[in-house]
Amino acid sequence: MSPGGRPAGRPIGAIVDHARQRLHRLGPAETLEAVHGGALLVDIRPHAQRAAEGLVPGALHVERNVLEWRFDPASDARLPQATGYDQRVIIMCSQGYASSLAAASLQELGLVNATDLAGGFLAWAAAGLPCQPAAAPGAVTAG
């Protein structure tokens, strides 16, 4: 333990900073341009957060706890949208912190073009880019 009682390890801020060193993070406008160019925007926010904040039309919703299994091209649990190790995947969370860790994790799997949306959904919405409110609580959506 360190003198302050902290066990060996790094604070989360340092871990996020380290993850971001290998990412070419995109701002909202750059993300929109990349999506128009064929990149896949993946929203990792939990359902409750999407319901509270809203949605980006066309984004693929994949909860954070299964992201690696769904995007590893070698995984039996991969999604049809996981087309290969060179695929351009942009991860979005609410504010751009969890997405940095998630994108770095995808890079660890070999997805060399994985990155994230700097500022997350809140930056996207603040930039006036396409958003839609999530379904009202209790609403039934087609699946």
pLDDT digits (tens, 9 = 90+) for 19-65: 888 989 999 999 999 999 999 999 999 999 999 999 999 999 999 99
Residue percentage of the chain with pLDDT more than 90: 77
Q: Which residue has the higher pLDDT, 13 or 2?
A: 13
| pTM for the whole structure | 0.85
Q: Rounded CA gap, 113 and 124, in Å?
A: 20
| C-beta of residue 100 within 8 angstroms of C-beta of residue 65 | no
Q: Kindly list the structural domains of the chain, giving each domain's residue range(s) and its CATH number in brackets, ordered by start.
A: 31-126 (3.40.250.10)
Taking the C-alpha atoms of residue 8 and residue 54, their distance in angstroms, rounded to an integer, is 39
Lowest mean per-residue pLDDT among 13-17, 79-83, 94-98: 13-17
